[in-house]
Amino acid sequence: MKIVSDIREMQQLAGHYRQQGKTIGFVPTMGYLHEGHLSLMRRARPQCDILVVSIFVNPTQFGPNEDFERYPRDFDRDERLCREVGVDVVFYPTADAMYPQPYLTYVHVEKLSETMCGASRPGHFRGVTTVVTKLFNIVQPHIAVFGQKDYQQSLIIRQMVRDLNFDVQIDVAPIVREVDGLAMSSRNKYLSSEERQQALVLYRSLTRAEELIREGERNVDTLLQAMKTVISEAPDARIDYIAIVDAETLEPLSTVRHNTVIALAVYIGTTRLIDNTWIREKDGKLVGQLVSPRQ
């Protein structure tokens, strides 16, 4: 496994692989890898000849009062995990290299970036789309794998790829969860043992919404109230947003239908967590991803 920090070296290496006719798969991460990240790498591995993983805590997607400085980092552990899943190249640039001063160029996807997490974290998605554009130009992948846990991000990236004519296939992999349902996240590290238990209200609220939908409920206001009731069971929980939206446009819905996403962001103490489920029609019924339909 190669570890590359220099941008030009990574570009030359990617160009060499392409000249050899090799397919490059890419998984961008901010490090502090967990099973969710590793599942993306395992998903990419059979689809490519060369698997590249980037590890870069991107400063431009953090707000001024967010957790950039304390975001967990452990490159030695990340390197070992990458080796174990068969990564060929780890791209590990510095912030100074990625954003040489003065840095004046950004990429922004309108509309999709302005709701949900975009409303709560102004400028966040501008940082995401800018760094992903740069990484695509550096790594030159044929396929890139993102996770559904960051549903809005994956939708924005797909839109950007279409709009800017990137020759990259975007693959979105399912959410990976702990055995009790909590979506895996590097930020779970921030939770105390008590907060870790309270964090399960995100999963339970989504599960409750799915149950109601299977029972025939379609009214969004009713579903939102049921989810809020579940979340209120956690004393340290504070809702940032709950959104029930069209899966392609992120437009708010009044009635649940095929291709609906239910997404939420909730603070447990000072830690902001996100989760979602995707509601689709199957065999004439609306079903989600979290709970099996009743027999």
Per cent of the chain over pLDDT 90 is: 98
Output the pLDDT for position 293.
Answer: 42
Question: Tokens standing for 210?
Answer: 């799915």
In the block, tokens 């579903």 appear at 223
Per-residue pLDDT reduced to its tens digit, 88-137 = 999 999 999 999 999 999 999 999 999 999 999 999 999 999 999 999 99
What band does 294 get if pLDDT is binned at 50, 70 and 90?
A: very low
Q: What is the mean pLDDT of residues 213-228?
A: 97
3-class SS of residue 267: strand
Q: In what order do the strands lie in the sheet with 24-29?
A: 2-4, 89-91, 50-55, 24-29, 143-147, 169-173
Task: For residue 221, name the pLDDT band (cuts at 50, 70, 90).
Answer: very high
Do the beta carbons of residue 240 and residue 272 sit within 8 Å?
Answer: yes
**What pLDDT, in 10s, does the model give residues 238-282?**
999 999 999 999 999 999 999 999 999 999 999 999 999 999 999
Nearest CA among 131, 108, 189 for reference residue 7? 131
Structure tokens at 47: 């689809």
Percent of the chain with pLDDT over 70: 98
pLDDT of residue 89: 98
Which residues in the chain are classed under CATH 3.30.1300.10? 186-286
Q: Which fold has domain 2-173?
A: Rossmann fold (3.40.50)
Mean pLDDT, range 58-64, rounded to an integer: 96
| Rounded Cα–Cα distance for residues 122 and 53 (Å) | 27
What gap in Å lies between CA 108 and CA 178, rounded to an integer?
Answer: 33
Q: Which residue from 42, 63, 59, 39 is spatially nearest to 51, judged by alpha carbons?
A: 42
pTM of the model: 0.96
Question: To which H or E segment does residue 143 belong?
Answer: strand 143-147
Nearest to 132 by CA among 150, 114, 111: 150
- Tell me where in the chain the CATH 3.40.50.620 domain(s) lie: 2-173
CB neighbour list of residue 222: distance below 8 Å, 6 or more residues apart: 212
> Could you tell me if 90 and 2 are in contact, meaning their C-beta atoms sit under 8 angstroms apart?
yes
Measuring CA to CA, which residue among 84, 91, 88 is closest to residue 31? 91
Q: Are 275 and 202 in contact (CB under 8 A)?
A: yes
pLDDT at 183: 97
CA distance 13 to 3: 11
- The pLDDT of residue 291: 62
- DSSP summary character for residue 150: G
Q: What single-letter DSSP state applies at residue 286?
A: E
The whole-number pLDDT of residue 295 equals: 33
Report, as residue numbers or ranges, the catalytic residues.
37
Answer whether residue 49 shows pLDDT above 80: yes
Q: Give the number of other CB atoms < 10 A from CB of residue 236.
A: 17
- Whole-number pLDDT of residue 180: 95
Given pLDDT bands bounded at 50, 70 and 90, which one contains residue 141? very high
Q: Which one-letter DSSP state was computed for residue 237?
A: E
State the pLDDT confidence band at 34, using cuts at 50, 70 and 90: very high
- Asked whether 136 and 14 are in contact (CB, 8 A), the reply is no
Query: In this structure, what are the phi and psi dihedrals at residue 173, rounded to the nearest 5 degrees?
Result: -100, 150
What is the per-residue burial (b if ≥16 Cβ within 10 Å, else e) of 137-172?
ebbbbbbbbbbbbbbbbbbbbbbbbeeeebebebbb
Rounded to a whole number, what is the distance in angstroms from the first to the last CA of the chain? Answer: 48
Q: What superfamily in CATH does domain 186-286 come from?
A: Pantoate-beta-alanine ligase, C-terminal domain (3.30.1300.10)
The DSSP code for 292 is: P
